[in-house]
Amino acid sequence: MRIEKCYFCSGPVYPGHGAMFVRNDCKTFRFCRSKCIKNFKKKRNPRKTRWTKAFRKSAGKELTVDNSLEFEKRRNTPVKYNRELWQKTVEAMKRVEEIKQKRQARFILNRLKKGKQLEKEEAINEVKKNIHLIKAPHAGKSKQLEDKMVQQLQEDVDMGDENN
């Protein structure tokens, strides 16, 4: 029993699900659901269909080259069963999965950092250009002027006192 990969969306095909298409040149295609089958029949290229993993990997939206991804590889020569090896493998799998998830998350986070930078700049720009929609340019100016005048008068009075 194996969990296969869908040819179109690269999702898991569990046993009892999906369909397989065999072409005249003996190449088999497995699909996870009719959505993928229909897209395949329409001759759509999975590398150009945005929601598939193939697109995401080829467009650099997800982690592609990494050591943690090298562990899961389809091997063509079967290995004889050995309890110890199997147990070790299962534990290793768990650890590798953890690390893989961390790295994939970090990759996406880094990718989206630029967006945050742009957001910040846009906010600054917005405020610079359209501040007049919420605050008139000389909103607090009259008060300022008053205060200034009061200050000036005070200073004059002080100066006068000093002279005297």
Partner 1 sequence: MALYNFKKIMVVPTAKDFIDITLSKTQRKTPTVVHKHYQIHRIRHFYMRKVKFTQQNYHDRLTQILTDFPKLDDIHPFYADLMNVLYDKDHYKLALGQINIAKNLIDNVAKDYVRLMKYGDSLYRCKQLKRAALGRMCTILKRQKSSLEYLEQVRQHLSRLPSIDPNTRTLLLCGYPNVGKSSFINKVTRADVDVQPYAFTTKSLFVGHMDYRYLRWQVVDTPGILDHPLEERNTIEMQAITALAHLRSAILYVMDVSEQCGHTLQQQLELFNNIRPLFANKPLIIVANKCDVKKISELSEEDQKVFAQLSAEGISVIETSTLTEEGVTQVKNEACDRLLAARVETKMKGKKVHDVLNRLHLAMPTKRDQKERPPFIPDGALTRRRAMEVDTPKRKLEKDLEMELGDDYILDLQKYWDLMNEDEKQDKIPEVWEGHNIADYIDPDIMKKLHELEREEDLKERAGEYDSDEESEDEEMQEIRSLAKQIRGKKQQLVAQSREKDITGPRMPRTAKKVERKELEKQMGDLGLEMDNKDDSHYAQQARRSRSVTRKRKREASAPPTSKVRSQSASRPPRDQSGMRDTKMVKKAKKMMKKSQRDMNRQGKKGEADRHVFDLKPKHLLAGKRTSGTNDRR
Count Cβ atoms within 10 A of the Cβ of residue 69 and give its class: 0-12 exposed, 13-18 middle, 19 or more buried.
middle
Scanning 20-28, 47-55, 62-70, 152-160 for contacts with partner 1 by CB under 8 A, the matching segment is: 62-70
DSSP 63-118: --S-GGGGS----SS-----HHHHHHHHHHHHHHHHHHHHHHHHHHHHHHHHHHHH
**Which residue among 133, 161, 162, 163 contacts partner 1 (CB under 8 A)?**
133
Q: Does residue 74 touch partner 1 according to CB under 8 A?
A: yes
CB of 104 to partner 1, least distance (A): 13
Binding site for partner 1 (CB under 8 A): 1-3, 12, 67-68, 70-75, 78-83, 85-86, 88-90, 92-97, 99, 102, 106, 113, 120, 122-124, 126-127, 130-136, 138-140, 142-143
